[in-house]
Amino acid sequence: MKKYTLALTWFLCFSAFAQKKEKIFTLHTPYGDMVAVLYNETPKHKANFTKLVAEHFYDSLLFHRVIAGFMIQGGDPDSKRAKAGQALGSGGPGYTVEAEFVPTRFHKKGALAAARLSDAQNPTKASSGSQFYIVQGKQLTADEADELKYDQSKLNQALQQYLAKPEHALLRDSLTQLYSTGDLLRFKKKVFALAPALEKETGFIIIKEIPEERIKAYTTLGGTPRLDGNYTVFGELIAGQEVLDKIAAVKKDGNDRPAENVRMFISMKELSKKKIAKLYGYHFPSLQK
């Protein structure tokens, strides 16, 4: 009887989880639709985006900045009635959203992230109240992915300190000669091999723990890892990545604004997690409650 009760409890809990509803957001564009989900781990951004969509804030706004191999950006309210050639990217709803950096959420292809002002103007890295971008990025090679494991800034500082010592003069000359050949791949590999010794002697923490899931995503889907930890990633596409590619490839002017307007309309609806999995093949992580 006890086993039966436990099994029934598990079944009921599982059923409740499977039927719990989540909102999906459909971005309608002239090139087709993109469907996205938002992360519960970034509640401020999720609530703000949901509010703006409910208010039809984004309807008829432009993707005003597109860079192939990088991202497409929209959400500037000034773009709704912008004249041809007008520079865009400074508009917003009059507020920002506090940064919400989550280590497990990163800039893989299809990620939704919040645009923001530069560090000089915005040291807390607060997000724009409305502008967002969708990552296209590029696929990384195995060697490029390996570089993600190293904090480049600290590596450079530690290497300078290390090579400045007289006892490392031969190594300094060797690296200088290798760099002068233009074989940057061999040069980088030799420098990366020094990382443990550099950490030990200088005290800098150079080697980072990068989850295999992230490495796999960047080498298969692609993305823009240099933005990780600097811009809030708050959702991802679960359908329509081919539309992302089409928009990223459009002709544009000197300000990266599409030559022909690419307008968006965003709608939302609730579906059960089970239905979302069936329709889009997307499974919410167990930590999303």
How confident is the model over 245-260, as pLDDT tens digits? Answer: 999 999 999 999 999 9
Q: Please state which of the ranges 8-12, 57-61, 84-88, 208-212 shows the lowest mean pLDDT.
A: 8-12
Looking at every residue in the chain, the average pLDDT score rounds to 92
Q: What is each CA distance from 50 to 46, 60, 267, in whole angstroms?
A: 6, 17, 10
Q: What is the pLDDT of residue 66?
A: 98
pTM of the model as a whole: 0.86
- How does residue 244 score in pLDDT terms, banded at 50, 70 and 90? very high
Q: What pLDDT sits at residue 286?
A: 67
Please report the beta strands in 77-229, taking only residues with DSSP state E, as ranges in sequence order.
96-97, 111-114, 127-128, 132-135
Q: What is the pLDDT of residue 115?
A: 98
For residue 111, pLDDT beyond 60: yes
Q: What is the pLDDT of residue 9?
A: 52
**Per-residue pLDDT, 287:** 46
Averaged pLDDT for residues 259-274: 97
- The reported pLDDT for the residue numbered 20 is 85
CATH numeric code, 19-139+221-280? 2.40.100.10
Residues of the chain within CATH 2.40.100.10 domain(s) are 19-139+221-280
